[in-house]
Each structure stands twice: as C-alpha cells, then as structure tokens.
Amino acid sequence: MQKIVKITTSRHNQLVDITEQVENVVSMSHIGTGIVNVYVQGATAGIMIQENWDDSVQNDVISLFKKLIPAGVWEHDSQDNNGDSHLKAGIVGPSETIPLINGKMGLSTWQNIFVCEFDGPREERNVVVTVLESGK
C-alpha cells in the first residue's frame, strides 16, 4: 500500500512531526508484520527519526546544521541561493524505514518521524509512505 502525505512548512529550517499521519497510513493498510518506508520528495528536505518530548531536540538539530553548514558560502548559491539546503538534506537523507510489529510501527517511546525542511517555507511537501507486508 502506498499513500502520499502532504505537509506545509512555515520556516526556512524546520522539523515537522509526521508520526500521526504515517500511523494513519499503517492503520489503513491492515498489515501486521512488515515495514513502512517514509520518503520525502525534493532535494532540500529529509526524513529523520528523533525525540519529540519537547522542541529542544528539534531546535538543537537546526542549530547544529546552521553551525556546520552555514548559508551563503557554497558554489550552488550562485544558482538559487540554497546550497546549504542541499547539503543538509544530503546528510540527513530522504527516507527512513521502520519495522511493523503486530500492526504498529516499531518506534520506541521517544521516537517520532520528522520531515526536515531546509528550504522553506513550502506550501506543499509530498511524503510517500509505502507499507509492505513481510513474506509468509
């Protein structure tokens, strides 16, 4: 089963929790044992599994990337001024795969799924959620 989840981002650099939307797709699939793959389309966004107790970890992720990969100093900036966005997305990667256990994602208590927006705000980001059943 495959569904596209559409999200909106409001800031240039932002982590958006999409765990609930992915859980809804998993629930609709009626698959008990397998995997769910979460993939964001676009070269300036990524998918990350991270804690969502409060905003501190998400803010730290953004702060770390701003320190490691500053804006405005990359060759690609001469094209469309978002060289740092491409580099951040490349490090994070476009997808995560989570095991399904008894029809639920095998995330721990503190793990959530985030879209990492590095070139926002965006009216629409597409996230492809694919649920696959294990062979019997």
pLDDT digits (tens, 9 = 90+) for 53-77: 999 999 999 999 999 999 999 999 9
Which residue(s) pair with 128 in the sheet?
A: 4, 39
pLDDT at 136 over 80: no
Rounded alpha-carbon distances, angstroms, from residue 48 to 30, 72, 102, 103, 125: 25, 24, 23, 21, 15
pLDDT at 132 over 80: yes
Question: Does residue 51 contact residue 107 with C-beta atoms inside 8 Å?
Answer: no
Does the predicted TM-score (pTM) go above 0.85? yes
Distance of CA 84 to the CA centre of its chain: 17
Give percent above pLDDT 90 in the chain. 98
**Does residue 19 sit in helix, strand or coil?**
helix
DSSP letter for 13, please.
S
**With respect to CATH, is domain 8-133 assigned 3.40.50.720?**
no
